[in-house]
Amino acid sequence: MHSITDERNWLTWLVKVRILILTVLLAIELAVIRLTPSPLSVTLFLTAMVLWFVLSLFFLFLVSVWQEHRLQAILQVLSDLVMVTLVVHLTGGIDSSLNFLYPLVIIVACMLLPRAWGYLSAALAFIFFGTILELDYYGAIPSYSNSHPKLKALQVVIFVNLFAYFAIAYLAGLLVAKLRQVDVQLKDASGALQNLQALHENIVQSMSEGVITTGLDGRITLVNRAAQQLLEISEVELCGRSVADLFQDPLPHFGSGRGDAEVRYVGAANSFRKTFRIMVSALSVNVPGGLGFVYTFDDLTEIRRLEREVRMQDRLAAVGRLAAAIAHEIRNPLTSIAGSVSMLSDVPALSQEERHLLEIVTRESERLNGIITDFLAYSRGKQYRFERVSLAPLLEDTLTLLEHRLLAEGAAIRIERDLPKTEALVLADGDKLKQVFWNFSENAVRAMKKTGGKLTVSLTPRGPDWEMSFADTGPGISPQQSEKIFEPFQSNFEGGTGLGLAIVYQIVQAHEGKVWARSEAGKGTSFVLRLRRLDEPATASPSAPSKSSASKSEKALAASGGGTRG
């Protein structure tokens, strides 16, 4: 037999309903006894009801400790038949108004037990009820009834109840069988629906593209695993948020002609900016208006980075072809100019204005020579010496040198450090990294030179990498500038060559690291650098270019820890 629901729940429910019915019957019978004359013994009736209450509480305890639910159901049905018979006898026998309890017990038997038990309980009800009436009639037991029908009338009542009990058993058994059949069908349909739902959910969750669904108000209702990984946010944090607030650029609108767009995204505070291609479509069923929107997106960050690198390599190739000619065509005349000006400055007959003009020529010649030096450092190949180095001492050396310079200049700029006490080991060229650190620091100082501020330098582990951050409190840069900040000739400072950060980018690429800038207008700029930790499994170590040696100007630049500015 298949139960309609869990048998234990049904047994618990039966006990609770029995207690409720007994309470109501007790109140009604006591009211009837008070209002109408009756031979009913109140003491015996109360004793029987208390006994029935105690049995109900015992069965409630038994359900929680005994796992044989079928036997418990049989015991409850049999005990109920006995107690109903006792109560019917005490409330008047043939005149009792409580003989309707027999059909209730028969219905419960049909629900909890096999169908044969329904007919068996009907037969037992007939036997118990008929026995009580016969014993009352012949005076074998005390009678509490007001009427004393003849034997034939008594037999008619007994057999009418027999027919009624078996009719109730048949109808209840038929109904319960139908209910069980429907229950099985419902479970099958529910299982099929769950399997279909699980299949659809697995399809959505297995997609390599990010999928976000929203309501008509733009609030997120579903996020698949790929979207959580791309956005680096859990589903719990995303659900309920506005999808438009996640991205820095406007999302495409459904029905506007173009259903896709490229948008920028910045996740956690320490993550770099990503570029996504997002497509939108309507989420609808066969009803007017639809239910919401579906946004699918994939990550174009690496593709756009490679495109920028290709553009930079193209520029580098063009610059390299011109480098030698520029060096010969400009540097040689510069040397002659510098020598001639030096000789002229020794002439005693020069006036103060003439000496001032010579100083201008000398200064501009030196600046032009610096531009050429940066130009050559950027365009020529470099030789790297990779070894185990600790980042904290390199940062400390750079910041100490910068502090002494700021103190000498009287600049209102302070430096804060957030460096670990443990070693932060990487495989790198220490001199080249110093050049990177100096360039970041020099850019921060130049950004805060007029207003003063704070430069915060931190070094923290991020998964398999060490992350270094140089954050200033300067005026910041626009998103358009930050997009091209590592491209050559993109200086934001007066007198800058626009090659310093381009050289930094080359050095970081040679170390197989990552570098990016984050900025908000009026809130400063942060340059972030990530390098692979030496204690983590790494890819093939960076190899040095095939050039046998660097130019003298490059060696001097590396030894000084800087000299190039963005």
The domains of the chain, with CATH numbers, are 7-187 (no CATH), 210-299 (3.30.450.20), 305-379 (1.10.287), 387-560 (3.30.565.10)
User: What one-character-per-residue DSSP string does 341-403 give?
Assistant: HHHHHT-TT--HHHHHHHHHHHHHHHHHHHHHHHHHHHHS------EEEEHHHHHHHHHHHHH
User: How do strand 465-471 and strand 453-462 relate by DSSP bridges?
Assistant: antiparallel
pLDDT at 540: 41
- Per-residue pLDDT at 497: 58
Instruction: Supply the pLDDT for residue 495.
Output: 53
Task: Give yes or no for residue 384 having a pLDDT over 90.
Answer: no
Q: Is the pLDDT of residue 534 over 60?
A: yes
CA distance between the termini of the chain: 83
Q: What is the pLDDT confidence band of residue 82, given thresholds at 50, 70 and 90?
A: confident
Mean pLDDT of the chain: 79
Mean pLDDT along residues 26-32: 77
Q: What is the pLDDT of residue 458?
A: 93
Burial class (CB in 10 A: 0-12, 13-18, 19+), 280: buried
Say if CB 212 and CB 220 are below 8 A apart. yes
Decide: helix, strand or coil at residue 102: helix
pLDDT for the residue numbered 425 = 92
Residue 195 above 50 pLDDT?
yes
What pLDDT, on the 0 to 100 scale, is given for residue 77? 84
- Reading the block at residue 125, the tokens are 């009800």
> Which DSSP letter does residue 330 get?
I
Among the residue ranges 31-40, 339-348, 381-390, the one predicted with the least confidence is 31-40
**60-69, 201-210, 310-319, 376-385: which is most confident:** 201-210
Higher pLDDT, 319 or 170: 170
Share of the chain above pLDDT 90, in %: 10
Q: What is the mean pLDDT of residues 124-143?
A: 83
pLDDT at 550: 35
**pLDDT band of 15, cuts 50, 70, 90:** confident
Q: Rounded to an integer, what distance in angstroms lies between the CA atom of residue 476 and that of residue 521?
A: 5
Q: What is the mean pLDDT of residues 336-355?
A: 77
- The arithmetic mean of pLDDT across residues 490-516, rounded, is 78
Distance CA 406, CA 398 (A): 12
Find how far residue 229's CA is from the centre of its chain.
Answer: 9
Give 530's pLDDT tier (boundaries 50, 70, 90): very high
Using CA atoms, how far apart are residues 406 and 274, in angstroms rounded to an integer? 36
Q: Tell me, what's the pLDDT at 125?
A: 86
**352 vs 256: which has the higher pLDDT:** 352
The pLDDT value given to residue 309:
76
Give 196 or 492, the one with higher predicted confidence: 196
Q: What is the mean pLDDT of residues 532-538?
A: 69
